[in-house]
Chains A and B, each alone.
Chain A
Amino acid sequence: MPRPKHAEPKLVNIEINGIALQVPEGEYLVDAAKRVEADVPVFCYHKYMEAVGMCRMCLVDVGYKQPDGSVRKMPKPQASCTLPCSEGMVAWTETEQIIKDRKAVLEFLLINHPLDCPICDRGGECPLQNNTQFYGPSTSRYIEIKRHLPKSLPLSDHVMLDLERCIQCGRCVRFTEEVSGDAQLAFLFRGAQTQPHTFQLTEFNSRFSGNVIEICPVGALTSRRYRFRARPWDIVTQKTICTGCSNGCNIYLDSRGGEMVRINARENPQVNETWTCDKGKFQPNIMRAPNRIQQPMIRKDGALQPVEWHEAYALILERFQDERDKGGVNAVAGFAGQRMTNEDLYLFQKLFRAGFGSNNIDHRLTRYQGDLNKDLYTPLGTFAPQNEMRDLEATSLIFIFGSDLIDEQPMVYLRARKAWHRFGVKALVAYPVPTEAEHFAENALRYQPGSELALASGLLRALLGLLPAEKLDGIEGLEKIRDSVASCDPGWVEAQTGVAPGVLERAARMIADSPSMMLLAGEKVWNHREAQTLIHMLTQITRVTGNADKEEGGLNLMPLAANGQGAIDMGALPNQLPGYRSLAEKASLEAVWGCTLPTEPGLASDAMFQACLESSVKCLYIAGANPVAEHYDPTLAARAVQSVEFLVVQDVLMTETAQYADVALPACAFAEREGTYTNFERRAQRTWQAVPPTGEAKPDWRIFSELLLRLTQQTPAFNPREVMKEVGQVFPAYAACAYDHLKDQGVRWQQG
C-alpha cells in the first residue's frame, strides 16, 4: 500500500526510564528512547533500512502494564531495534542487567576485532570505538590468537574492505539489497568465517557504493580516496549541498587546511534521506582542478593575459555598451549556466535587463527552447514540477517517461525504488533501451528513439478509451483532446514506435487503473524534436487521468542540471521575467528595480548562437556554462563561440568554451562561496562556504553585482542574503525562501 501523505499516526502511551510519553504506534523502541534522550547503542540498526536485530547491542529491559496497574516484565532483555512500541509498554535502558549485557556483547564483538584504531580511518568517529568507550569492558578475557584476514582489499576504485575489522552487522549487505537494489554484496561462509564480499571478488560497481562506507559502524569499509588523508578531529566539517544534479543532496563537505578531503551525506528526510550517489560523493575536487581560471584575463595578441578585475570590467562594459548603442539591444546576449545559484542567475538576468536593456538571456542547453508561456505550463499553473520527493511513496503509480532515472536523478531513483520495495508502489518505464528502473517496473515500454510523441499520443488515445466516463466528465476541452489523438490508433503507434499494441494496452490499463500517478519526464523529453507538443501531450495525460490537481500525482519535468529549476524561476529566459511573469507584466519589476525594461522578447539559445554566426549578436556573455561540451548541438555552440566578435566567459574551469574567450573571469567553485539552489521538487536549499576561494576567484553574483554597480549606480547587494530578499520581492513565492527561513533543510516554494 502506498504510504498516505498526511496520515495521522495513532499514538500509544509508553514509559521509558520512568518517563511517560506518547509515541506513534509501531515506532521502534530504540527510536522512541531518543525522545527522552535515553541513549541506546546500536550497530546493525539503521533508520532508513529494515531492522534485523543482528548485533544485540541495543538490548533493553521491557515490560507491559497490566490491567491492575502492575508491570509484568519480560524475563529476558529485548532488542529494542526490532520492538515496535505498543500501548502500556514500559522500558528501562540502564538497569544493572543491561549494563552487564552491553559489556558482554562488546567483549564478544571485540574477540576478533583487531583494535587497530590508531591506524584506522574510522578512529574518532567509529561507533564501535565510541560504544566500547561508553559501554564496553576495559579488558577482554579472550587471550587466544585472533582471526586473520585480508586487511586492505580494494573492492572498487572507491571502496576498500578490511575483513578483520568487520563485525558482521550486515548493514552494507542490507544496503545493497534493500536500498540500492543491486545486491552486489553478500555474506559469504558462516559462523566466525562470515564475511561481506562481492561475487568472486569482482568489482563492486554499484552507483551508490559510497554509502556503505558511511554506514559501516567500524572501519571495515573505507574510502580509498580519503584513506589516511585526515583524522576526524583535524577536519573542518561544513554542511552544504551537492551540485552534481538537480536532486540537491544534502552533504557535509570535510576539509583539512582548506583542502576538501571527503564528502559525506547529511540527513534530510525530504530529499536524500541519508544517501548520496557515487557521482556526487566521489566527485573530483574541482577546487584544486589544474585547469582553473585563476585570475581575470583579457585576450591580447592572441593569448589570454592576466589583468586586474577593474580592467576586465571596463573592457566588458565598454564593448557591450558600445555594440548595444551601435547595433541595438539585440547585439548583446547572455548565456547563463545551470551550475550557478539562484542569486547568480537572478543578478545575471538583471544585469542584462536592467543594465543592457536586453532580453537576450537563456540558460537552455536542451533542444526544448519553446515558449514557457502560460498556456503551456504544467497543470500546476507554472512550468515547475508538481510533486515533491516523498510523494513518490504516496502515489500509486510512478511513470518514468524518457528518463534513465538512475543516471539523471539518482536520488529519485532510490526513492522510487524504495516506494516500490517498501510500499508496493507500481512503476512503469518508457525508454528506448533497458534501464535499471526496469528491474522494479511492472511494465516497460521500449520504443524507437525519438518516437516519444507518438507513444504519448497513443497512450493518451488508449486512456481516453479506458477511463470511465464519469472521470472524464469535467475535463475542459475533452473533445479537442480526443480529436487531436484520434488518428493515433495502436497500429499507427506500433509503426511509429515499435511498441506492440498489447504492450501499449497493458500500460494504458495500468495508468487507467491507478488512483494516482506521478509522471517523471526526463532528458528524452527535453531533447525531443517537438518537445513543446510532447510536453503538451504529457500534460493532457496528466489532466485526463485526474492527476493535475492531485497532491500525490502530477507531471514533473525534471531539470537536468543542478539549478535548472532555479534558472527558470529566476527568469534566465528570453521571454519570461523572474517568477514566471511574462514580459508584459514588467511593471512590478520596474518598480523594484527603478528602471524601465525592454518589452521585446529576446533570443532563445539556439537563435542566440545562430545570431552569433550571422554576426548580429556581437557580444556574448557566457557565465557558468560550457555549451561547447554540453549543448545538445555542440557544433553549433562551438561555431558560435568561435565566430562571435567579443566573448566573455566566466567560469570555474578553463573549459572548452572558455578557450575562445576574449575575457575570462574566474568564478568560485560551489564550495568556495554561499548561495541557494532550487532542486527538482522546487526546494530552495542553501550552500555554505567550506573552503577559501582559489586565486582571485569571486562568487558569480558578486561579479554581476559589481558590473551592475558600474552600469546603474544603484546600491548593490552586499551578500547573497540580500539578493535573495530582493528575489522575494519580485517573486513572492520565494519570500518563504529567504535565508532566515531556509535553515538546514531548505524550503519548497509554493505557487499562489
Chain B
Amino acid sequence: MDRNVELIRITERPKPPRPEEIPLRFSETAVQELDALVSHYPDKKSALLPALWLAQREYGGVLTPEAIAEVALRLERSYAEVEGVATFYTMYNKQQMGKFMLEVCTNLSCMLCGSYRLLEYLEEKLGIRLGETTPDGLFTLTEVECLNNCGDAPVMQVGDVYCRKMSVEKMDALIDQLRGSDEHSVTRLADAIVNIQLSAADKARIASEHE
C-alpha cells in the first residue's frame, strides 16, 4: 500500500534512459556468446530468454534495470518489452539474491515428506523468513513448485544442484559446506543455462578466440 501511495504522489516521471546513458557491462565473452545465441534464430528478438540469462550471470545474479536496458539495447527491442518478459518468469531475479538460493520444494510429494518442517527449520537456523536474505548476503530462502524429482522428496535446489531426500542433518551439513564454498550458486545456474544453449562449435570458437 505504501508503494502505491508513493507511486501516485509523483506527478512527473523520469525520462527513460537514452542508449548512450546505459552502462554496458557485458564482458567480451558474453558479447560473443550473445552473438552466437542470436545466430541460432531468424531474428534477434527470439534470443531474448537466453540473453536474459546471460545478463543475470553478468550482473551477479540479478536483472537490474540497467541489465534489462542493456539486453534491450543489444537485441534492439524496447526496454518495456524486455522488462515485461523478465518480470513474467520467476527464475529471473529482479532483486539481489543471496549468494546461495535455497529453493525448497513444497509441492505435494515434498510437502507430504515434510518440506514445510524443513523450511521452518531453515528459517530458524538462518534467522530469516521465507523470501528473505540473510544480512551477510549468503542465503536467500524461497519455496518452489514441483522440481520433478518427487521420488527423492523432500527436494531442494541450490543453484544448478539438486539436494535430494533432505533431512535436518543433511541440511546442517549442506549449510556448513556452503558457508565454506566460494561458488555463487545463482550465477552458476545462469551460466549453466547459457551453456546448454550454446552449441559445441560456438563454445569452441569462443574459447579459441580467448586463447
Which A positions have Cβ atoms within 8 angstroms of B? 148-156, 176-177, 182-190, 197-205
Contacts and interface: CB of A to CB of B under 8 A. Distances in A.
| A148, A199, A203 pick with most chain B CB within 10 angstroms | A199
B79 A200 contact: yes
Nearest to B80: A186
A185 B16 contact: no
B80 A197 contact: yes
Contact of B68 (A177, A197, A199): A199
A723 to B, nearest CB: 47
Interface stretch (B6-14, B47-55, B153-161, B187-195): B6-14
Contacts of A198: 13, 16, 80
B23 to A, nearest CB: 15
A177 B10 CA distance: 26
B148 to A, nearest CB: 21
Contact of A202 (B8, B15, B84): B15
B27 interface: no
| A185, A202, A204 pick with most chain B CB within 10 angstroms | A202
Given A152-B8, A183-B80, A202 B87 contact: no
Interface in B60-111: 65, 68-69, 77-81, 83-84, 87-88
Contacts of B78: 182-184, 186, 199
Q: Which 10 A-B pairs have the closest CB atoms?
A: A186-B84, A183-B78, A199-B79, A186-B80, A203-B13, A202-B16, A199-B80, A150-B4, A150-B7, A188-B87
A153 B5 CA distance: 9
A54 B8 CA distance: 28
A274 B83 CA distance: 29
A152 B6 CA distance: 11
A201 B13 contact: yes
Q: How large is the interface on B (under 10, 10 to 19, 20 to 34, 35 or more residues)?
A: 20 to 34
A176 B77 CA distance: 12
Nearest to A177: B81
Contacts of B4: 148-151
A471 to B, nearest CB: 34
Contacts of A182: 78
Contacts of B79: 199-200, 202
A153 B8 contact: yes
Interface in B153-200: none
Contacts of B201: none
B16 A203 contact: yes
A379 to B, nearest CB: 37
Contacts of B12: 154, 203
A199 B83 contact: yes
A182 B76 CA distance: 11
12 contacts: A152-B8, A183-B81, A185-B80, A188-B84, A190-B87, A199-B68, A199-B69, A201-B7, A201-B13, A202-B13, A203-B12, A204-B13
Given A148-B4, A150-B8, A202-B15, A189 B88 contact: yes
B13 A186 contact: no
A205 B15 contact: yes
Contacts of A148: 1, 4
A186 B83 contact: yes
Nearest to A191: B88
Contacts of B81: 177, 183, 186
A200 B8 contact: no
A419 B1 CA distance: 45
Nearest to B78: A183
Nearest to B89: A190
B65 A200 contact: yes
A202 B22 CA distance: 14
A197 B78 CA distance: 12
Nearest to B86: A188
Contacts of A189: 87-88
Given A152-B8, A184-B80, A198-B80, A203 B88 contact: no
| B11, B65, B79, B84 pick with most chain A CB within 10 angstroms | B84
A153 B8 CA distance: 5
A195 to B, nearest CB: 10
Contacts of A186: 78, 80-81, 83-84
Contacts of A188: 83-84, 87-88
B75 to A, nearest CB: 12
Nearest to A203: B13
Contact of B13 (A156, A187, A190): A156
Given A156-B13, A183-B77, A189-B88, 12 more contacts: A148-B4, A152-B8, A153-B7, A153-B8, A154-B8, A154-B10, A183-B80, A185-B80, A186-B84, A188-B83, A200-B16, A200-B65
Contacts of B10: 154
Contacts of B15: 202-203, 205
A153 B12 CA distance: 10
Contacts of B16: 184, 198-200, 202-203, 205
A494 to B, nearest CB: 27
A143 B113 CA distance: 35
A19 to B, nearest CB: 42
A478 B77 CA distance: 46
Contacts of B80: 176, 183-186, 197-199
A649 to B, nearest CB: 38
Contacts of A185: 80
A186 B84 CA distance: 6
A152 B4 CA distance: 9
B13 A151 contact: no
A204 B16 CA distance: 8
A156 B77 CA distance: 21
A45 B81 CA distance: 21
A386 to B, nearest CB: 34
Contacts of A205: 15-16
A169 B99 CA distance: 39
Contacts of A197: 80, 83
Contacts of B87: 188-190
A715 B118 CA distance: 98
Contacts of B69: 199
Nearest to A187: B84
Contacts of B83: 186, 188, 197, 199-200
A156 B65 CA distance: 20
A204 B15 CA distance: 8
Contacts of B8: 150-154
A202 B72 CA distance: 15
A185 B11 CA distance: 18
B158 to A, nearest CB: 25
Nearest to B87: A188
A183 B11 CA distance: 22
Contacts of B84: 186-188
A187 B89 CA distance: 12
A202 B14 CA distance: 5
A190 B90 CA distance: 9
Contacts of B88: 187-190
Interface in B112-134: none
B65 to A, nearest CB: 5
Nearest to A204: B13
A63 B211 CA distance: 65
A205 B68 CA distance: 19
Contacts of A200: 16, 65, 79, 83
Nearest to A190: B88
A149 B68 CA distance: 24
A154 B10 CA distance: 8
A184 B65 CA distance: 15
A151 B84 CA distance: 21
A100 B120 CA distance: 46
B90 to A, nearest CB: 9
Nearest to B68: A199
| A150, A151, A177 pick with most chain B CB within 10 angstroms | A150
Nearest to A182: B78
A180 to B, nearest CB: 11
A596 B69 CA distance: 70
A148 B4 CA distance: 9
